[in-house]
Amino acid sequence: MEEEQNLSKFASDGELDKKGNPADKSKTGGWSAASIILGAELSERMCVIGISSNLVTYLVGKLHLSNADAANVVTNFMGTLYLLCLFGGFIADSLLGRFKTIAIFGTIQALGVGLLAFSTSLPSLQPPACKDSHQFCIQASGRMMAFLYASLYITAFGVGGVKSNVSGFGSDQFDNEDPKEQRKMIYFFNRFYFCISIGSLCAVTVLVYIQDNIGRGWGYGIPAGSMILAVALLLGGSYIYRYRKPGGSPLTQIAQVLVAAWRNRRMSLPPDPSLLNQDGYANTMDPTKRRNLHTNQFLCLDKAAILDPDMVESSKSGPWKMATVTRVEEVKMVLRLLPIWSTCIMFWTVYSQMTTFSVEQADTMDRRIGSFKIPAASLQIFLVGSIMLFTILSEKVIVPYLRRLTGKAYGISSLQRISVGLVLSIVAMLAAALVEKKRLDTAKQYGLTQKRNATLPISVYWLVPQFFLVGAGEAFAYVGQLEFFIKESPVTMKSMSTGLFLSTLSLGFYWSSLLVTMVNKVTKHGKNRGWLPSNLNIGRLDYFYWLLAVLSVINLAIFFLFARWYKYKEEWGSNGEDRNSSNMKELNTSLEKTKTEELEVYVDVLSHTKL
């Protein structure tokens, strides 16, 4: 009895305090620690959204880039930023741990944003103003663009280390095997994303206004200062966090299994999976050293765990020649994520239009409220507001209702969340195409097609539906993807799996850049300036939105096929066979009501799976 009480005192997730001792749950973790981490993410979002939401207007208005080139600068920056999250996750999992990675890369991020504030403030780093109503403009020189790129990509490097680790480090503060903390864990991801939305809201309102009306130096200097403060607070709270030791390079572990499977490719699998190279720590309390159940997918990888008596007895055995079942199953988990990962990319291609072409649309429309003129980038307040609205509705209304309806703790599964987001992104592009057609018709009706900077007599509020729908879709897709990639990945690869999720954002932005380039090449010929010229009034941006809608429909169909094929961790039985739904429901009920030794072992096996 005394031993059980002692165990319950400490986090059972293999986590440690700052001194390297088992983490005392009464002194570490919980919402006190998570709140500081959420504050770091809020500051990170203020920096990133403060740059991305309004950068296109600076590139076009001050540096005199074309609309397509400016859009590609933004999407390439965002793509690189999220791609570097894979590197940040790798560094945390293999070397530094999540806390040190956030602190170091947060400082680098603050430095990059500070350099951006400096580069946008100096007249010597900007070309002369345009003459004759923007008909004769000198583009920024190579030196000017080089300084801008340096500040942007230093920022991206810093964000890559912060963004890939804050969610994992925050979730580390809750014990997944403590029922009380488990319930708090259910709401952590929603509240995490709510903080993201608050940071984004501050960026698209206060920071955008400051950038357009006071100065870019202040507009970028303020978020740089907030990031420095966030890092200071993070360091100050170091004694109340729960830490997890780096588990070694996850890429090395994956490579070892693949190499061992290739070496043993000519060997025959044993008739029973129990004859494979099993682990010797099935019931340990450390989840990073807990045996994973064998599954019957990707059986070719099982050859990495074939027991060769000659190899075992000799000194030649090693992880590159013979893996354990647990290592093989961890690689299988990662491989099972990839089909879903590939179909999440298209959503972020749609999302990227809200920071590029939608802002450029807004810049040509009537944005007046009395004597006040709304900054074009501030239209994203409807995107952020929609995210916040649907995040709250999901936590307070949708999930509780579906929980009662289905009897399942999570209410709506992560894949179902993602599917809702994908559907809403399609509707958003349909609305965007129709609104752009109306904007172009207005330009023709009033003879303003050739006047690039003319304000068309059409209200900017026509753009609200596309921002609102993409925001609603993001509220579902982002939370669903984040939850899916963290909970369905191996425990030892949590940061890297977060980076894997964020790489979908990266590839979504890159795919947008590639589509813009391809569309310009295909549609621009002779005197025809193509769908996406510098003057949107003589282009066909609506056709581009239709193209995105069609591609999104195709992507959704493929997603449904992959989602039907995918099995959650909890759906695998001890021999890799599916449980039927009635048995699963009875088992969930028994888990809540009994404390028998048999069920405690079962919970031990199912740790870090979907609730």
- Give Cβ neighbours of residue 478 (< 8 Å, ≥ 6 apart): 193, 196, 421
Helix H, strand E, coil C: the string for 414-452 is: HHHHHHHHHHHHHHHHHHHHHHHHHHHHHHHHCCCCCCC
Percentage above 90 pLDDT, the chain: 26
| pLDDT value of position 340 | 92
Residue 147 above 70 pLDDT? yes
- Grade residue 309 by pLDDT with cuts at 50, 70 and 90: low
Q: What's at 42, amino acid-wise?
A: L
Average pLDDT, stretch 461-479?
A: 91
- Give Cβ neighbours of residue 429 (< 8 Å, ≥ 6 apart): 350, 353, 466, 545, 546, 548, 549, 552
CATH class of 11-246+330-571: mainly alpha
Q: How do residues 410-449 score in pLDDT, each as one tens digit?
A: 677 889 899 999 999 999 999 999 999 999 999 898 888 8
Q: Which of 260, 249, 248 is nearest to 324 (CA)?
A: 260
Q: What are phi and psi of 113, to 5 degrees?
A: -70, -35
| pLDDT value of position 571 | 64
Average pLDDT, stretch 252-276?
A: 84
Average pLDDT, stretch 216-236?
A: 92
| pLDDT value of position 186 | 67
Cα–Cα distance, 378 to 132 (Å, whole number):
28
- Give Cβ neighbours of residue 99 (< 8 Å, ≥ 6 apart): 169, 234, 238, 241, 243
Cα–Cα distance, 369 to 413 (Å, whole number):
42
Average pLDDT, stretch 344-364?
A: 91
| pLDDT value of position 196 | 80
- Grade residue 284 by pLDDT with cuts at 50, 70 and 90: very low
| pLDDT value of position 53 | 84
| pLDDT value of position 222 | 93
Contact 294, 276 (CB under 8 A): yes
- Report which of residues 135 and 335 the model is more confident about: 335
Radius of gyration of the CA atoms of the chain, in A = 26
| pLDDT value of position 439 | 93
| pLDDT value of position 432 | 95
Helix (H, G, I), strand (E, B) or coil at 453: coil
Average pLDDT, stretch 292-319?
A: 71
| pLDDT value of position 242 | 86
Length of the chain: 611
Residue 3 above 70 pLDDT? no
Beta bridge partners of 578: 572
Cα–Cα distance, 78 to 290 (Å, whole number):
37
pTM for this structure?
A: 0.75
| pLDDT value of position 198 | 85
Q: How do residues 531-570 score in pLDDT, each as one tens digit?
A: 888 888 888 999 999 999 999 999 999 999 999 988 877 6
Least confident segment among 234-238, 282-286, 321-325, 364-368: 282-286
Average pLDDT, stretch 70-91?
A: 87
Residue 24 above 50 pLDDT? yes
Residue found by looking up tokens 């391809």 in the block: 518
Cα–Cα distance, 49 to 68 (Å, whole number):
20
- Give CA 48 to chain center in angstroms: 13
| pLDDT value of position 578 | 41
| pLDDT value of position 586 | 43
Please give the C-alpha separations between residue 400 and each of 31, 171, 210, 392, 483, in angstroms, as whole numbers.
21, 21, 40, 12, 17
| pLDDT value of position 2 | 45
Q: How do residues 369-394 score in pLDDT, each as one tens digit?
A: 888 888 888 888 898 888 888 878 87
Q: What's at 606, amino acid-wise?
A: L
| pLDDT value of position 282 | 44
**Domain locations in the chain?**
11-246+330-571
Q: Which of 292, 349, 364, 344 is nearest to 323 (CA)?
A: 292
Q: Which of 530, 500, 486, 565 is nearest to 82 (CA)?
A: 500
Average pLDDT, stretch 63-75?
A: 86
Average pLDDT, the chain: 81
Q: Which of 595, 530, 555, 508 is nearest to 78 (CA)?
A: 508
The token pair that represents 170 in the structure block = 């925050």
Percentage above 70 pLDDT, the chain: 83
- Listed ranges 30-39, 246-255, 291-300, 338-347; the one with the highest mean pLDDT: 338-347
